Amino acid sequence: MKKVNVAIVGATGMVGRTFLKVLEERNFPIDNLYLFSSARSAGSKVEFKGKEYTVEELNENSFDRDIKIALFSAGGSVSEKYAPIAASKGVVVVDNSSAWRMDENVPLVVPEVNPEDVKEHKGIIANPNCSTIQAMVPLKPLNDKYNIKRIVYSTYQAVSGSGVKGTKDLEDGIKGLENKFYPHPIAYNCLPHIDVFMDNGYTKEEMKMINETMKILNDYDLKITATTVRVPVVNGHSESINVEFEKDFDIEELKTLLANSQGLELVDDIENNVYPTAFELSGRDEVFVGRVRRDFSVDSGINMWVVADNIRKGAATNAVQIAELLLKYDLV
């Protein structure tokens, strides 16, 4: 595979550091690597594959060099400003923020679900929200076979999804210190409040899940609702997903379908207390599904429990997989 020049924007953040870890683990073919951050972190040293790199301050001229792929995880306002600048200079941007996800000209990609959509890019490809990514991996094969009619999401999201400030609030709270980041203590507590509240009473996180699911599955008539909750877990998001289908199903056949789906692992042996948990599966790239059972309150529906590492599959790994698709399809 040919080697390409890669840039990382937000290189010192939680996801940025994980980009580097995943690129190294997957042996992504990098020729030259460029690391960018805000002025605050510029000048810091970062190691990649045994070599030390100096992080540069991001500016409007940062992409005036031969860069093929840029992985962005520096927040929406940075992406809004700098992704078009990079794209105008021939760089393909894979953006982890919410800035471009619902733009009709920007593909929103989960590689196990809609890999071909990367071919439609016009310089920017969006990484979906962490909680959407892990839901899509089991929902896509189920939709293909049984035609999804309605989805009810209930999420249990780790503090790492808020970055270092969220993690610190949990650590401080356990020590009995006051919360500085969340509006209420997160230690020993659950907050039904992720991102800002919207005029319709939902949070922005809930609306992200609803709208992104429709876009990725390319079905804007789907009935979807969501409640997203921040829980006192360090890393790894868990989701209870209730799905209603148009077609009937055999539960064992449905489980086999999930077990054989790409990027998915069925962890479901209730007789031996085997089901996925965030604590045990943190650090993995797969999406794990368990507690798969028929919903007896509807004609054709299931409940399932879906767990993934939100910083890896929910962010960094998914973005690197998109970059791999760009090479596979010879798009850079």
* 74 shares its domain with 139: no
* 184 shares its domain with 218: yes
* 281 shares its domain with 150: yes
Residues 228 and 213 sit within 8 Å (Cβ to Cβ):
no
Closest CA to 224 of 129, 135, 299: 135
pLDDT band, residue 223 (cuts 50/70/90): very high
* 181 shares its domain with 305: yes
Average pLDDT over every residue of 279-293: 97
* 14 shares its domain with 99: yes
* 39 shares its domain with 100: yes
**Percent of the chain, pLDDT > 90?**
99
The residue from 121, 184, 193, 237 that is catalytic is 237
* 66 shares its domain with 144: no
Q: Is the pLDDT of residue 167 over 90?
A: yes
Query: How many other CB atoms sit within 10 Å of the CB of residue 21?
Result: 16
User: What is the model's pLDDT at position 27?
Assistant: 97
User: What mean pLDDT value characterizes the chain?
Assistant: 97
Residue 237 among the catalytic residues: yes
User: What is the model's pLDDT at position 286?
Assistant: 98
Kindly report the CATH number assigned to the domain that includes residue 245: 3.30.360.10
Q: What is the pLDDT of residues 69-102, one digit of tens each?
A: 999 999 999 999 999 999 999 999 999 999 999 9
The residue from 130, 184, 190, 193 that is catalytic is 130
Query: How many other CB atoms sit within 10 Å of the CB of residue 154?
Result: 16
What is the residue type of 243? V
Torsional class of 43: left (φ above 0), alpha (ψ -120 to 50), beta (otherwise): left
Q: Where in the sequence is the domain holding 183, given as residue range(s)?
A: 131-310
DSSP letter for each residue of 233-250: -SS-EEEEEEEEESS---
Kindly report the CATH number assigned to the domain that includes residue 55: 3.40.50.720
* 233 shares its domain with 97: no
Residue 107 to residue 51: CA distance in whole angstroms: 34
Q: Is the pLDDT of residue 12 over 80?
A: yes
* 110 shares its domain with 155: no
Q: Is the pLDDT of residue 1 over 80?
A: no
* 274 shares its domain with 287: yes
Number of folded domains that form the chain: 2
Residue 193 among the catalytic residues: no
Average pLDDT over every residue of 221-242: 98
